[in-house]
Amino acid sequence: MSAPAIISLGCRMNIAESERMRAILAGERDLVVVNSCAVTGEALRQTRQAIRRARRDHPQARLVVTGCAAEIDRAQIGAMDEVDGLVANAAKLDPRSWNVSGDAPPLARQETLARTRAFIAVQNGCDHACTFCVIPQGRGASRSLAIAEVLGEVGQHLAAGAQEVVLTGVDLTSWGHDLPDAPRLGTLVQAILEAYPRLPRLRLSSMDGIEIDPLLFELLAQEPRVMPHLHLSLQHGADLILKRMKRRHSRADAVKLVSRLKALRPEIAVGADLIAGFPTEDAAHHAENLAIIDELDIVHAHIFPYSPRPGTPAARMPQVARDVVKARAADLRARAAARRAAWLGTLVGETLPVLAEHGGTGYAPNYAPVALPQGSIPGTIIDVTPSGLREGLLA
């Protein structure tokens, strides 16, 4: 191999950070970097699997692991025969960690041109203590990019051809609390829209609904360039389980937020993260978890079967049997799939502005996946009127 290979696992933060690493490492040769994830036990298993596969595919390359697993499970990952070295998660965007010069561009131009959407990590770390989560151990305290830094990155991506900017963060809605005067996320979104009036689409990744500030709510509800797509870090539909997770919202908080937004912007599509089989969850709690999918009209569901992570409070709570966890996750996936299929069906015959991506597909503003007409050029926004559904795509 010649140019470095970067394998990104897990969240959109890792995708954004991998793009920065590509720029930093552009001049390196025979190098494989695994940007790992450790959010669940399954994520750690997949990280180890990816490391072994990378070594088989690149037997002569230097293989370095960074990311959350390299921080939280440092001893386990470092002991793998396939691994030549580890780079601390907090240091992976510092050129000095890779022994290269410090004047690398903020993004790899060729990679940006290959992508139609730009993921920009505006916040990192987390100050909360959810009982199931190890991410604060892997990413540290919450910290924010200054507005000027974010605007600079947005400008770089737009100059390279990106048509959509996606703001990401470990705890995105906590952006700004550590900056002078503690601005809220709505201030950053408004600054981007004002600085770049020709930016067609701005999307927000997973958010904590309880932290959505009034300006951000107004922009989500009324600004056409902010995509009608709300993904909530919800986690569960039962109040007692939310309390045991040490979440800061209730079921009613989520219902009220979505109801208010949909009243002002009916086309908004709701996504959510939901955990199945959290410790102490009984059949009634599971029923509430199922019901929240319909009550919030969740059409972009990310379902996670609970798996204990050593060192977290939830790992010491009474556990639900693994077969029950798997069955409940399957229930949630089936309910979510039915809700999504019904929603996609309502979009058949509607003309949608779709951002064309590589591979013959693209996304509508509400993040509905759409099959593109032959000859569609990646990076362009085209109107598509689907006549039906094909393998989960509007077509």
What is the pLDDT tens value at each position of the chain, 395 positions in all? 567 889 999 887 888 888 888 888 887 888 999 999 888 777 888 999 999 999 999 999 999 999 988 888 888 899 999 999 999 888 888 888 888 766 555 554 444 434 588 989 999 999 999 999 988 887 888 999 999 999 999 999 999 889 999 999 999 999 999 999 999 999 999 999 999 999 999 999 999 999 999 999 999 999 999 999 999 999 999 999 999 999 999 999 999 999 999 999 999 999 999 999 999 999 999 999 999 999 999 999 999 999 888 889 999 999 999 999 999 999 999 999 999 999 999 999 999 999 999 889 999 999 999 999 999 999 999 999 999 999 999 99
The full DSSP string for 312-338 is SGGGGSPPPPHHHHHHHHHHHHHHHHH
User: What is the structure's pLDDT at 80?
Assistant: 94
CATH 1.10.3810.10 for the 5-98 domain, yes or no:
no
Residue whose structure tokens are 């102490």:
280
CATH 3.40.50.12160 residue ranges of the chain are: 5-98
Element (H, E) at 218: helix 214-222
User: What is the structure's pLDDT at 77?
Assistant: 92
Q: Which one of 3.40.50.1360, 1.10.3720.10, 3.30.750.24, 3.80.30.20 gives the CATH number of domain 109-347?
A: 3.80.30.20
Length of the chain counted residue by residue: 395
Q: Cα separation of 252 and 238, whole Å?
A: 10
Q: Which pairs with CB-CB distance under 8 Å and at least 24 residues apart come from 129-133? A: 129/246, 130/235, 130/245, 130/246, 130/247, 131/244, 131/245, 131/246, 131/312, 131/313, 131/314, 131/317, 132/245, 132/275, 132/278, 132/306, 132/309, 132/312, 132/314, 133/39, 133/309, 133/312
> Could you give phi then psi for residue 276, rounded to 5 degrees?
-100, 140
User: What is the structure's pLDDT at 109?
Assistant: 42
User: What is the structure's pLDDT at 256?
Assistant: 98
CATH 3.80.30.20 residue ranges of the chain are: 109-347
What contacts 376, CB < 8 A, 6 or more positions away?
A: 356, 360, 362, 382
Q: Cα separation of 30 and 4, whole Å?
A: 6
Please tell me the pTM assigned to this model.
0.86
Other C-beta atoms within 10 Å of 374: how many?
A: 5
User: What is the structure's pLDDT at 93?
Assistant: 85
User: What is the structure's pLDDT at 94?
Assistant: 86
CA distances from 260 to 165, 297, 366 (A): 25, 13, 17
